[in-house]
Structure 1
Amino acid sequence: MEITQLMLHPIRLRIVNAVFDGRPFTTSQLRERLPDVPKATMYRHVGLLVEGGLIEVESEERKAGAVERTYRLQRSRTVIDGAAAAAMSNEDHRRGFAAGIASLLGEFEVYLSGKGADPTADMVTYRQVSLWLDDAEKEALYDDFIVAVRKRLDHNPSRDRRRHLLATIMFPTEVEP
């Protein structure tokens, strides 16, 4: 299965998001981060991501007669680059968008179901705003955004930090006929 096909699935997207920090993880640890995903489903999708080379087995350890694997995300392989995106059909983009929205809904439901979820105190936002931009302005906005995010991508977990999911969606709302 090619990378775009692997990434265009809501459960696999959630798995990639959950381990995007690049730290090693076991399936048990992953299930703690995604408690709503059934065990068999989790194992199946982790297996597909391993098969596709997006996740690698870092180590194996025998525990109580079973083999526990520790995995690591191959972050550089999870990016659908410009060439891959350009090769996607409109139907692929529909599926990718739907998978992304389904992934966000799943993550948001887990958050809201958690003890102590406080959207106001946690500064949860899901606002939409329309911008009038020419191509140069849109590119400058994108570049500014990427610079701001990259500065924070390599932050390590700490007592004061919680993992946050940032999702961006931008598309023209007017198209020429």
Structure 2
Amino acid sequence: MASLDLLLHPVRLRILRALLDGHPSTTAELRGRLPDIAPATMYRHIAVLTAAGVLEVLEEKRVRGAVERTYRVHWDRAEIDPADRAAMTPDDHRRAFTAFTGGLLADFDHYLTREPADPTADGVTYQQAALWLTDEELAELLTEVRTAVTARQGRAPGPDRTRRMISLIAMPSDG
């Protein structure tokens, strides 16, 4: 499990978001997806994530005299430690939620600047639902959603497949 500070660094968050689809990537592939991050910065943050066990090196091979590594995320280590989560202050939660929603906004803005962006044809949706659930029913629902998403992760890219970001937020509501 990782710490809040480890995961909430903006560059490390972007690296992890780039790997959300479950497909292993080399640093060169990550740099192609995140071209605005300087190479030295990318390597430094990949090293930090690897040392923390959040990224795993799957393969190493020599390419033009350098070692090219292929990485994947250890998702069980990319979550905030339960003890750290329990100790989070309201400000820590605000910071984490702001980072999460900031990533969503950046992804959506990136999508809208593509040509041509067609939200209807592309199946874009953003919606909320209000459900009355016991704690046990909520846990069951979240398990079902995780199971459904996990079953679809790792599918190979293809001409008929579009990489889609799926996000879920659950919280109590007074109104």
Measured in 2, the distance between the counterparts of 1:141 and 1:163 equals 24
Contact kept, 8 Å, 1:54 with 1:73, in 2: the verdict is yes
- Answer with 61-70 or 94-103: which moved more: 61-70
What are the residue-to-residue correspondences of 1:50-129 with 2, within 5 Å?
Answer: 50-80=50-80, 82-129=82-129
**How far 1:163 sits from its partner (Å)?**
1.7
Tell me the equivalent position of 1:169: 169
Percentage of matched positions with identical amino acids: 48
Contact kept, 8 Å, 1:11 with 1:103, in 2: the verdict is no
Match status 1:45 vs 2:49 = no
Secondary structure, aligned partner of 1:167: coil
Measured in 2, the distance between the counterparts of 1:153 and 1:123 equals 18
**How far 1:55 sits from its partner (Å)?**
1.1
Q: CA RMSD in A?
A: 2.9
Q: Give the 3 Å change call, closer, same or farther, for CA 68–137 of structure 1 in structure 2.
A: closer
In the alignment, structure 2 segments of 5+ residues that lack a partner are: none
Q: Give the 3 Å change call, closer, same or farther, for CA 3–158 of structure 1 in structure 2.
A: farther
Contact kept, 8 Å, 1:10 with 1:100, in 2: the verdict is no
Measured in 1, the distance between the counterparts of 2:144 and 2:65 equals 52
**How far 1:104 sits from its partner (Å)?**
1.4
In the alignment, structure 1 segments of 5+ residues that lack a partner are: none
Contact kept, 8 Å, 2:2 with 2:81, in 1: the verdict is no
Contact kept, 8 Å, 2:60 with 2:68, in 1: the verdict is yes
Q: Give the 3 Å change call, closer, same or farther, for CA 143–56 of structure 1 in structure 2.
A: closer
Secondary structure, aligned partner of 2:70: strand
